Structure 1
Amino acid sequence: MNRRRLLSGIAGGCALAVTGCLGEEPGPGAGTDEPTETMSEDTPEPTEEPAESPTEEQPEPPTDTPETSVTDRSFEVTEAGCGRYVDEAEVAFEDESVDVTGTTNGSQACYTAELDAATYDPEGDELTVDVVSVRTADEDQACADCIAEIDYEAMITFARGLPDTVTVVHVHGDERRTVATVER
């Protein structure tokens, strides 16, 4: 009988020893002095590489300032009729625009003037205004045989400043004639 008592004591002791191992894990802060590490699906795996520390350098601000640019152009013939051979222009610098007032000519009364181009060169900080005289009538249509004197106004609007130099060119067929160069 002693044998049965011994075996039953051993079995009872084993049952008590195993009960602590088979139970649920204790929650955080439940009874151990050792730190515990629990991983959830949202917790990233630890890496062997150290995380980058923030840099002390700040990015340099851009040194380029926005360039001057043409934002709008307008052109109007203010008067045209028989007159004399005139090729001239005046330039005025306004707050945000360059105004050109001029007179060009045509070989007959059926000619008018048009703004052919207003080109800004940022490297030379120069605006070139090309005004061309063009025939408005068909080639087979007769026109008064006189020199056409054509007055016009052009306005070129800028963003971020005005050019230092403005050159006005009158174009008659293949001939280009500089009629004004003005610096601010």
Structure 2
Amino acid sequence: MRRRTLLGTAAAGAAALVAGCTGTGSDPGNGSDGDPTDSPNATATGGGDGDYRVANRTFSVTSVECSTPASRVSGSIDPESPAPGAAESTVTLTGTLEGRNGCESARLASFERGPDGGTMAVGVETYVPEEDEGLACTQCLTAIDYELAVVVRGGRPGEVAVTHDGEAAGTVTFAE
């Protein structure tokens, strides 16, 4: 009888541990930075197509899964070749960073224009959402996928440097 109780308890515990590896995170906001727009004085000069101003930015976590994560970052800009005098472009960055357990998510930690104006510097960090603090977390390394979309007006950056948890993750360069 004790063996059945032990096996039943072990099976229930294993199911609870695996359940945290299959979802998209328990953060209902999926990592939104809570600040959809940049400050009104977000202008820069030089690089890219010249002056640009950040009109809007959104950050979201697209998936959190138990796996062997590899830090990566890639990007695109739309339109790729803007028409002269185009009103705006959208810079989209996608990346993956490593979480230490199933409770961790990602958020935008920093967002700045570089000193030469034609660059952006973006920092993404892992964190445990407040509603998950103190919970038993799945003990596995996680791959946390995210997307950052930045709408710029009056030009565009030529380069975006990205860090994950303070470490260089990559630089995305856009052709002029």
Partner residue in 1 for 2:173: 183
Please say if 1:73 is aligned against 2:92: no
Please say if 1:119 is aligned against 2:112: yes
> 1:117 Cα deviation (Å)?
2.2
Partner residue in 1 for 2:83: none
> 1:122 Cα deviation (Å)?
5.5
Looking at structure 1, the residues matched to 95 and 159 of structure 2 have their Cα atoms a distance apart, in angstroms, of 17
Partner residue in 2 for 1:130: 123
Query: Which of the numbers 152, 156, 160 marks the counterpart of 2:150?
Result: 156
Aligned length: 116
Larger Rg: 1
Letter in 2 for 1:143: C
Looking at structure 1, the residues matched to 143 and 58 of structure 2 have their Cα atoms a distance apart, in angstroms, of 20
Looking at structure 1, the residues matched to 151 and 144 of structure 2 have their Cα atoms a distance apart, in angstroms, of 23
Q: Does the Cα contact within 8 Å between 1:110 and 1:148 map onto a contact in 2?
A: no
Looking at structure 1, the residues matched to 111 and 57 of structure 2 have their Cα atoms a distance apart, in angstroms, of 8
> 1:148 Cα deviation (Å)?
1.4
TM-score, normalization by structure 1: 0.58
Q: Segments of 4+ in structure 1 off by > 6 A?
A: none
Unaligned segments of structure 1, at least 5 residues? 1-63
- Identity in percent: 28
Please say if 1:98 is aligned against 2:91: yes
Looking at structure 2, the residues matched to 155 and 122 of structure 1 have their Cα atoms a distance apart, in angstroms, of 21
Partner residue in 1 for 2:100: 107
Looking at structure 2, the residues matched to 97 and 167 of structure 1 have their Cα atoms a distance apart, in angstroms, of 16
When structure 1 is superposed on structure 2, of 102-111 and 67-76 the one drifting more is: 67-76
| 1:12-63 Cα shifts (integer Å, max 9, x gaps) | xxxxxxxxxxxxxxxxxxxxxxxxxxxxxxxxxxxxxxxxxxxxxxxxxxxx
> 1:164 Cα deviation (Å)?
1.0
Looking at structure 1, the residues matched to 121 and 160 of structure 2 have their Cα atoms a distance apart, in angstroms, of 6
Paired residue secondary structure (1:161): coil
Q: Does the Cα contact within 8 Å between 1:118 and 1:156 map onto a contact in 2?
A: no
TM-score, normalization by structure 2: 0.60
Paired residue secondary structure (2:70): coil
- The Cα RMSD (Å) is 2.0
Letter in 2 for 1:165: E
Unaligned segments of structure 2, at least 5 residues? 1-44, 80-88
| Alpha-carbon distance change, 67 to 124 in structure 1, aligned in 2, over 3 angstroms | closer
Letter in 2 for 1:167: A
